[in-house]
Structure 1
Amino acid sequence: MFPVFPIGPSGPWGPVAVLSVAVASALAAPAALAVTPFVLKDIRVEGLQRTDPGTVFAALPFRIGDTYTDDKGSAALRALFATGLFKDVRIEIEGEVAIVIVDERSIIGAVTFVGLKEFDKDPLTKSLRDAGIGEGLPFDRALIDRAEQEIKRQYLGRSLYGAEVVTTITPLERNRVNVTFTMTEGDAAKIKDIRIVGNSVFSERELLDLFELTPTGWFTWYSKTDRYSRTKLNADLEKLRAYYVNRGYLEFAIESTQVTISPDKQTISVAISVKEGQPYTVTAVRLEGDYLGKEEEFRAFVALRPGQPYRGDAVTATGKRFTDLFGLYGYAFARIEPRPEIDRATGQVVVVFAAEPSRRVYVRRIDVAGNSRTRDEVVRREFRQLEGAWYDGGLIKLSKERVERLGFFKENIEIDTNEVPGSPDQVDLIVNVVEKPTGNLIVGAGYSNAERLTFTASVKQENAFGSGNYLGIELNTSRYQRTLVVSTVDPYWTVDGISRAIDVFYRTQRPINSLGDTYDLKTPGASVRFGVPFSEYDTVFLGVGFERTEIGTAAGIPLSYLNYRALYGDKTNSFPLTLGWSRDARDSVLVPTAGRYQRVNLEWAAFGDVRYLRTNAQYQEYWQLPLRMSVGVNAEIGWGKGLGGKPFPVFKNFYGGGLGTVRAFEQSSLGVVDPTGAYIGGAKRLNVNTELYFPVPGTGSDRSLRIFAFVDAGNVWREDETITGESIRSSAGLGLSWISPVGPLKLSWGKPLRLQRNDRIQRFQFQIGTAF
């Protein structure tokens, strides 16, 4: 958003400055204007066009019947100028009458923009209005000039060095004016090259790979990393400094930075001069100060080891660990000062950590600020730090994480620790949150080469009425599976944190590649599920549901479904019980690069017409690699068995093949094939995926666009079929994932490594979804 211009009374061309000039002019010769005090018999105002006379009289420090003096006249001038409505004010005395003569400022009729492309119009209009430039506000040429210069500075911040801003003032009737800002933006200046001089230990290419800013390349049209920004350059210089310091170069320094722009203002060259210094090796780590008699416990948290190169990140990490450990013992204001003792002759350094724990405190009160919609109790029930208890930094950190996981507030929730005046052993915690919209009305469409065009719609409220409860309605019109679901979740159904979720749904489905488009299988039902927390990170889910399955006789129905109908009937009821557990510790849901995700779900239909057991387990883990690469492994196993001497119900089968399972095989084509040609899946599934992610050259640290290489293996089997290594299908290939402006996009091209003669191959596969 365009920033609010810092125009105020203290500015060089602000209202106070103009007032001072006007008042000084009016009072330049007080001796000549001096009048003998007299009693006012009348006050007249001349020159008003739009301003209400009452506004003038309200500002005057005198009334009819008062004694008029020069001091009161001067005060009247100051008060009238301070209203900002007048560009000139005079007071004339005729006998015992004071005549106030004003020259009104013009009023702005409209503010318009011509040629504006780089900025959004609405935020810019709001920023100008906040600065005193807007429809219905008094016209002030000084403010307009200041705004013009500020807009130019904003263009410079976006590398538009050739941008020009011209302001046109158009007079209108009734002392009004239109203000028009005409922008000639031109093209953004691009970085031609970045040079580093003075380096010998590391190559220039290796160092430039650290930078977010890059010269113009193949993908900079998307990443815009070739647009110069002083803020981004400073951040890159800090990365450069950290790179050296973390490899032992304790005295590394950036001596100069030169930024040169071409005469046509279209290209920029950056030259950075560095002084590397010598590397230092840590010979010892010494603890000084008061460590509460727990030096050995603190020493276990030291991230530096003697004999290793000095690392600045390890020093910072050690200081933070010490601070956190002091916090665990109730010392909220502990100070840790790292001091390197350098021996330049030998290239050795002793790192000293001096500690001053200050005093132990306990929490008097916890207040929540900024929650204009969410109830206090929704935040408080996530807190593990209690009022009246000793300050515990670990519990406060955990509490902050739990509040952030609610998803009701913007990122960077802050918890301030304030001392209580007069009570040195007490603190108050202030939880500062910023509400964000938690309701979503989404209409979406998606396309894949298996499902073709699909339509989705949902109305969701994650924080209904500020209670922390969830309400939602979802609709999906997939070609092969259509769904209508109404859901509600109460995360604190009990005070102990047991959650309750209720779902009511209506689903229709038919196997992929089945004959005809009129056939479907209908499943209305409902379920209730409870989540019982067993630790801060683990929750076990228990639930029960009701499902009714209806199979018609429309043309194209698969033979396996007709067999099910003959065995169980055209309408069957089941009451599945569910037991599940999950934990998500990935660093991102959309583009994970580190962390682990685990889940297990068991479904047991022990009552009703259809009885079966169905379980599904998944494990994912991601690891970061050098050069901004990462690797991810996903393993999933599914198993189902019919109970009561009857086979596993066909409509509960697992499916395999395509994106999400084994790529390069046609979507859901693995497993059993019905005599009609429909893919009906199987009662067993095994799936293992490995992906190696590469950053796209020229995108810097942007993870929304990534290239990956993959190897997939797996298959789907019948209930009575044995899983063997020979039956495993596998594939390998390359892909592209992009969190695009129109939704997540995933492309893959693969080649089967292990296949059988009748397998359906589909080398190129893609899927894209959008919301609008």
Structure 2
Amino acid sequence: MAIKKHLVVSSLLGASFAALGQNSFIVEDLKVEGLQRVALGAALTHIPINVGDNVDEYTISKTIKSLYRSGHFDNIKALRDGNNVVFKVTERPTISFIEFDGNKDIKDEQLNQSLDQQNIRQGEPLDKTVIDNIEKGLTEFFHSIGKYNAKVDISITKLPRNRVKLKLKFDEGDAASIRQINLVGNELFSNEELLQLAESQQDLPWWQFMGSDRYQKQTIEGDLEKIRSFYLDRGYLRFNIDSTQVSVSPERESVYVTANLTEGVKYKVKGFDFIGDLLGREDLIKSVIPLRAGELYNGSVVTSSEEFIKSYLARFGYANAEVRTIPQIDDENQEVQLTLSVNPGKRVYVRRIIVGGNQSTADEVLRREMTQLEGAWLSNQSLERSKLQIQRLPYMEKVDFNVVPVPGVDDQVDVDFTVKEQSAGSFNAGLAYGSYLGLQFNIGVTESNFLGTGNQIGFNINTSRGSERVSVSYTDPYFTPDGVSQGSSIFYSNYDASKFSLIDYKSKSYGLGTNIGFPIDAVNRINFGVRWIQEELSDIAEYEQTRVLRETFLDQDNPDAGFDFTKYELSAGWSRVTVNRGLFPTAGSRQTLNLTATTPNSDLKYFKLNYDSRFYWPISNDHRWVFSTRAALGYGNGYGSTNGYDQVLPFQEYFRITEMELRGFDRNTILPRAIARIPQSIPGTPLPDGSTTGNIGGSSEFDVLVPQGRIGGNAKAVAGMELIVPTPFLDEENTSSVRTSFFVDAANVWDTEFNVDRYQNLAADERAKLDDYSDPMRFRVSTGLSLQWISPMGPMLISFAYPLQKEEDDDTKTISFNISNSF
């Protein structure tokens, strides 16, 4: 492309000056003609002469150059009219619109950023002198990514009112492929071994269509650095890449890369010492860094030692510490003495912490999570911990910080925290389908960041076939300034167990409770709680597992009456949270251990112990591939005696299994079944007329067993593994709100109090109806795919599961779906 440059220097410095004449004169008036967008006052600020000044050719020349430097004008002429000076100007056109066409490898955002750096932006005057530089820079960029046939054409279209449209048209062409990478000079390691380190690939056959042998300059440079690190990490201190040549085929479709190497020999570390100021911690640092005398030199170890010292000093406010390793090489003995030069610099203090991006969350809520304080010295450890603790809040999607030096001061900085919030309030609607339970639905309202205070409030109504539950809760995580939390709740429940594949009984309960939590450190907490519960059980069928409760509380005068219980529950718990964010963590763990027990003055005396854990291990550096495990264990039982009967865990408190704990199975379908034991009568002696003398009671060995609905057990074990993978066709910006994973789930619930030997006197066909519900190894297992999305409407979850291990009477389901709508 050829763009004419309207810089008529000859007319400015020749004809214009001739018009002024060679003699100096006193200026009586100044005029600027041709102004359109630029105000007269703005133009005059760039004219260094005033009325009454004595001017000559040199003065006018300087004035013209000053006007050009303003960036407003394409052409300037200076004329003399008597003792008046007239500047005739042509303003630069204003960029009305910038259009890109045909660009693929370089995005519009990158182009706009590049143009902006050269003051080419919409609404600004166009400096045509930089157009050639832009073309050249873009062409060089395409060459660096292997597109040697790329063309860039920049056209300028004039528009009314001295405006222009700037259009950048790209013909990128095909990228050149790497035909061959040649390494010359390597004898200790083969080309194949070294090129396995490289990201760049060469001359791939057509069937390896998933790979790429495209040439990119930056990738090649990175690959050569990997080879350099490979040698340095194995002691080859004198290794060097002497030269690199890149040759392009005549048709510009293939590239040949040649690197000339000098391997050298291995060197050992003779010893290492320090110079500079280590703040009196030399012995500690020396014992911690991985450098060791007598071992082979290792470049990675040296680098990590330098980074450790910098990071360690930064804990104490020395944010700009400089650490440099000086090698003293003994080629004769193939040894190297390392000297680590340490300059901590000045201790840096935080002048101000600025929080931005929080639209609904109050600053105070975020600041109370920070361990880095204003006025204290800058600590990288405190900054990272502050970021982590804010990111663990469930209503925070992303947290970043930036350290900004205070202008004119070398020992103060400001810290800018930028947060991105995510939905904290939701209207939850759950939907699932199972082969036995059919369609299920629940609804609820929660707000984890009530009015931006960080407090949690909830009003939930969960309804399904046979269940109604209403609850109201409120939790203040900072009931006191030092992080003591306090919460309260009240609930009402009406439950018909027979509607959920469970035994026949109905439960109606209501209660209220409160809890308080104390932080032990940044990741550990302990919690204590108390609840009062009033419970009514009715329509309880007679089963083996309900026998103890019925016999303990049965009203002999009214055996069909229900049971009323008053319970006072005390709870104590421990939690440890080290995950890197509240939702969709990719590293760290969550662990909880809780003990709940009723007091001795309660009608029912029992305890329940629960342990839950989930661990995340990132597989890739970008945390897009993550391996996760989870486990849940539970055990409960009764204590003491009531009315002469030893207490056991009441059946309504038995452990159950949710759909999310064991995907692919219906709720409760793997629980132990209730056993109804029905006594049988024996006919009397036959009489001659065919009648009998009457029935007489039979022995218990003739009892009939009838397995009924599921009841649960007093022990529970759940385990699972997940491989979290990048979601296909999803850009990196949305990875924090969408998660795809492959899973394996396993679970079992059993009853340690169930004794199958109690039924040994029964007939064999009756014993065959029994399963050993005390067996802890009757696990069910499933596998499948799960997709989770924190959408603008709220969390959505869909799972596809297939049972790997099941029993004959288990009910399964393939798909489950859950959706929440935010408000």
Change over 3 Å in CA distance of 1:498–1:23 after alignment to 2: farther
Matched, 1:37 2:39: no
Q: State the secondary structure of the residue aligned to 2:226.
A: helix
Query: Alpha-carbon deviation of 1:95?
Result: 3.3
Aligned-partner Cα distance in 2 for 1:174–1:419: 42
Aligned-partner Cα distance in 1 for 2:163–2:520: 69
Give the superposed CA RMSD. 6.3
Change over 3 Å in CA distance of 1:323–1:126 after alignment to 2: closer
Q: State the secondary structure of the residue aligned to 2:237.
A: coil
The corresponding residue for 1:687 is 718
Aligned-partner Cα distance in 2 for 1:248–1:676: 72
Q: State the secondary structure of the residue aligned to 1:242.
A: helix
The corresponding residue for 1:3 is none
Change over 3 Å in CA distance of 1:492–1:234 after alignment to 2: farther
Residues 597-652 of structure 1, C-alpha deviations (whole Å, 9 max, x = no match): 42224456769999975443134556789999997654321235579968647588
Matched, 1:496 2:482: yes
Contact 1:420 1:428 in 2 (8 A): no
Aligned-partner Cα distance in 2 for 1:513–1:201: 74
Letter of the 1:758 counterpart: D
Task: Within 5 Å, give how 1:503-652 maps onto structure 2.
Answer: 530-543=516-529, 579-585=572-578, 596-603=589-596, 613-620=607-614, 633-640=629-636, 648=650, 650=652
Letter of the 2:13 counterpart: S
Contact 1:245 1:312 in 2 (8 A): yes
Letter of the 1:496 counterpart: D
Residues 162-186 of structure 1, C-alpha deviations (whole Å, 9 max, x = no match): 5443333333334333333333445
Aligned-partner Cα distance in 2 for 1:309–1:478: 68
TM-score (norm 1): 0.68
Q: State the secondary structure of the residue aligned to 1:435.
A: strand
Change over 3 Å in CA distance of 1:162–1:599 after alignment to 2: farther
Matched, 1:141 2:137: no
Query: Alpha-carbon deviation of 1:655?
Result: 0.7
Q: State the secondary structure of the residue aligned to 2:523.
A: coil
Q: State the secondary structure of the residue aligned to 2:288.
A: coil
Contact 1:642 1:649 in 2 (8 A): no
Aligned-partner Cα distance in 2 for 1:637–1:542: 20
Contact 1:656 1:685 in 2 (8 A): no
Contact 1:473 1:484 in 2 (8 A): no
Change over 3 Å in CA distance of 1:289–1:238 after alignment to 2: same
Letter of the 1:717 counterpart: W
Aligned-partner Cα distance in 2 for 1:655–1:540: 26
Change over 3 Å in CA distance of 1:728–1:329 after alignment to 2: same
Task: Within 5 Å, give how 1:203-222 maps onto structure 2.
Answer: 207-214=194-201
Using the aligned pairs only, state the percent identity.
Answer: 26
Change over 3 Å in CA distance of 1:257–1:460 after alignment to 2: farther
Aligned-partner Cα distance in 2 for 1:102–1:187: 46
Contact 1:447 1:454 in 2 (8 A): yes
The corresponding residue for 1:169 is 156
Q: State the secondary structure of the residue aligned to 1:179.
A: strand
Q: State the secondary structure of the residue aligned to 1:433.
A: strand
Change over 3 Å in CA distance of 1:123–1:314 after alignment to 2: closer
Residues 557-614 of structure 1, C-alpha deviations (whole Å, 9 max, x = no match): xxx9xx9xx9998999988665433323457889988755422244567699999754
The corresponding residue for 2:381 is 397
Change over 3 Å in CA distance of 1:413–1:283 after alignment to 2: same
The corresponding residue for 2:809 is 758
The corresponding residue for 1:309 is 296
Matched, 1:366 2:350: yes
Query: Alpha-carbon deviation of 1:275?
Result: 3.8
Residues 388-444 of structure 1, C-alpha deviations (whole Å, 9 max, x = no match): 88x7x9x652454234431379666456899998xxxxx945353341322448999
Q: Which moved more, 1:126-135 or 1:450-459?
A: 450-459
Change over 3 Å in CA distance of 1:406–1:248 after alignment to 2: same
Query: Alpha-carbon deviation of 1:715?
Result: 0.7
The corresponding residue for 1:556 is none
Letter of the 1:617 counterpart: Y
Change over 3 Å in CA distance of 1:744–1:154 after alignment to 2: farther
Contact 2:457 2:475 in 1 (8 A): no
The corresponding residue for 1:5 is none
The corresponding residue for 2:748 is 715
Q: State the secondary structure of the residue aligned to 2:304.
A: helix
Q: Which moved more, 1:677-686 or 1:79-88?
A: 677-686
Contact 1:449 1:766 in 2 (8 A): yes
Aligned-partner Cα distance in 2 for 1:275–1:478: 75
Letter of the 2:592 counterpart: R
Change over 3 Å in CA distance of 1:118–1:25 after alignment to 2: same
Query: Alpha-carbon deviation of 1:367?
Result: 1.8
Q: State the secondary structure of the residue aligned to 1:314.
A: helix
The corresponding residue for 1:654 is 656
Aligned-partner Cα distance in 1 for 2:143–2:821: 34
Aligned-partner Cα distance in 2 for 1:507–1:202: 72
Aligned-partner Cα distance in 2 for 1:744–1:202: 50
The corresponding residue for 1:727 is 777
Aligned-partner Cα distance in 2 for 1:387–1:738: 42
Work out the number of aligned pairs and report it. 720
Matched, 1:279 2:310: no
Q: State the secondary structure of the residue aligned to 2:573.
A: strand
Aligned-partner Cα distance in 1 for 2:446–2:157: 48
Query: Alpha-carbon deviation of 1:685?
Result: 1.5
Q: State the secondary structure of the residue aligned to 1:371.
A: strand
Aligned-partner Cα distance in 2 for 1:351–1:336: 16
Letter of the 1:175 counterpart: N
Letter of the 1:432 counterpart: V
Contact 2:370 2:385 in 1 (8 A): no
Letter of the 2:749 counterpart: V
Aligned-partner Cα distance in 2 for 1:336–1:404: 27
Q: State the secondary structure of the residue aligned to 1:536.
A: coil
Q: Which moved more, 1:609-618 or 1:469-478?
A: 469-478
Letter of the 2:421 counterpart: T
Aligned-partner Cα distance in 1 for 2:440–2:201: 39
Letter of the 1:252 counterpart: F
Q: State the secondary structure of the residue aligned to 1:177.
A: strand
Task: Within 5 Å, give how 1:409-488 maps onto structure 2.
Answer: 413=401, 428=411, 430-440=413-423, 469=454
Matched, 1:253 2:252: no
Letter of the 1:670 counterpart: I
Query: Alpha-carbon deviation of 1:686?
Result: 0.7
Query: Alpha-carbon deviation of 1:88?
Result: 1.9
Aligned-partner Cα distance in 2 for 1:404–1:550: 46
Aligned-partner Cα distance in 2 for 1:525–1:686: 28
Change over 3 Å in CA distance of 1:621–1:218 after alignment to 2: farther
TM-score (norm 2): 0.65
Q: State the secondary structure of the residue aligned to 1:686.
A: strand
Contact 2:798 2:815 in 1 (8 A): no
Aligned-partner Cα distance in 1 for 2:492–2:113: 47
The corresponding residue for 1:671 is 671
User: Unmatched 5+ residue regions in structure 2?
Assistant: 540-545, 551-558, 675-705, 756-772
Change over 3 Å in CA distance of 1:38–1:656 after alignment to 2: closer
Q: State the secondary structure of the residue aligned to 2:521.
A: coil
Q: State the secondary structure of the residue aligned to 2:418.
A: coil
Query: Alpha-carbon deviation of 1:653?
Result: 3.9
Aligned-partner Cα distance in 1 for 2:442–2:186: 57
Aligned-partner Cα distance in 1 for 2:261–2:159: 59
Q: State the secondary structure of the residue aligned to 1:112.
A: strand
Letter of the 2:389 counterpart: R
Query: Alpha-carbon deviation of 1:727?
Result: 3.4
Q: Which has the larger radius of gyration?
A: 2
Q: Which moved more, 1:714-723 or 1:324-333?
A: 324-333
Change over 3 Å in CA distance of 1:344–1:571 after alignment to 2: farther
